[in-house]
Amino acid sequence: MATFNTDIELTASENTTSTAADHESRSMTNDSSSGVSQESIEQPHLPPTDHGKAAWLVLAGCSVIQAPVWGFSLSFGVFQDYYMNLSDLEGSKSSLANIGTCASGILYLSAPVTFTFLTQYPRLRRFCGPVGLALIVVGSILSSFAIDVWQLIATQGVICALGSGLLYSPTTLYLDEWFIQRKGLAYGVMLASKSLAGAALPFLMGALLDRVGFRTTMRAWAVASLIATVPLLYFLRPRTRAISSTTPQRLSLSFLTLPSFWILQTGNILQSLGYFVPSTYLASYASTIGLKPQIGTLMIALLNATSVPGSLLIGMLNDRCHVTNVILISTIGSTLAVLVFWGLADQVALLAVFAILYGFFAGGFSATWSGVLIQLKQEMPALETGLVFGLLAGGRGIGNVISGPLSTILIDSGLVEVSKSRSLGYETQYGWLIVFTGITALLGGWGWMWRMCQTLLQ
How many whole angstroms separate alpha carbon 432 and alpha carbon 73? Answer: 26
Same domain, 406 and 325: yes
> Would you say the C-alpha torsion 204, 283, 271, 354 has a positive or negative sign?
positive
Please report whether residue 203 resides in a domain. yes
Point out which residues pair with 30 in neighbouring strands: 37
Q: How many separate domains does the chain show?
A: 2
Is residue 9 very low, low, confident or very high in pLDDT (cuts 50, 70, 90)? Answer: very low
Rounded to two decimals, the pTM is 0.79
Of 187, 217, 241, at which residue does a domain stop?
A: 241
Same domain, 230 and 267: no
Is residue 155 very low, low, confident or very high in pLDDT (cuts 50, 70, 90)? Answer: very high
How many whole angstroms separate alpha carbon 264 and alpha carbon 255? Answer: 12
How many whole angstroms separate alpha carbon 148 and alpha carbon 390? Answer: 34
Of 218, 241, 264, at which residue does a domain stop?
A: 241
How many whole angstroms separate alpha carbon 29 and alpha carbon 51? Answer: 26
How many whole angstroms separate alpha carbon 239 and alpha carbon 44? Answer: 12
Please report whether residue 117 resides in a domain. yes
- Residue pair 200/192 in contact (Cβ under 8 Å)? The answer is no
Same domain, 176 and 74: yes
Same domain, 256 and 383: yes
Is residue 362 very low, low, confident or very high in pLDDT (cuts 50, 70, 90)? Answer: very high
Give 330-347 pLDDT, tens digit per residue.
Answer: 999 999 999 999 988 888
Domain hosting 220: range is 47-241
DSSP 368: G
Please report whether residue 143 resides in a domain. yes
pLDDT at position 290 is 82
Please report whether residue 40 resides in a domain. no
Of 181, 213, 241, at which residue does a domain stop?
A: 241
Give 294-316 pLDDT, tens digit per residue.
Answer: 787 788 889 889 999 999 999 89
Give 86-101 pLDDT, tens digit per residue.
Answer: 888 888 877 787 888 8
> Would you say the C-alpha torsion 288, 291, 292, 296 has a positive or negative sign?
negative
Same domain, 224 and 262: no
Please report whether residue 231 resides in a domain. yes
Question: Residue 155 belongs to a domain with what CATH number?
Answer: 1.20.1250.20
| Percentage of the residues of the chain whose pLDDT score is greater than 70 | 86
pLDDT at position 245 is 53
Please report whether residue 219 resides in a domain. yes
Phi, psi of 384 (to 5 degrees): -90, 95
pLDDT at position 41 is 39
Q: Is residue 442 scored above 70 in pLDDT?
A: yes
Please report whether residue 26 resides in a domain. no
SS (H, E, C) 388-419: HHHHHHHHHHHHHHHHHHHHHHHHHHCCCCCC
Same domain, 222 and 258: no
Q: Which amino acid is at 359?
A: G
Same domain, 276 and 158: no
Give 390-402 pLDDT, tens digit per residue.
Answer: 999 999 999 888 8
Please report whether residue 21 resides in a domain. no
Same domain, 234 and 89: yes
Same domain, 214 and 154: yes
pLDDT at position 243 is 52
Compute the mean pLDDT over every residue in the chain, rounded to the nearest whole number. Answer: 83
Is residue 251 very low, low, confident or very high in pLDDT (cuts 50, 70, 90)? Answer: confident
Same domain, 213 and 303: no
Same domain, 212 and 349: no
| Percentage of the residues of the chain whose pLDDT score is greater than 90 | 40
Same domain, 235 and 255: no
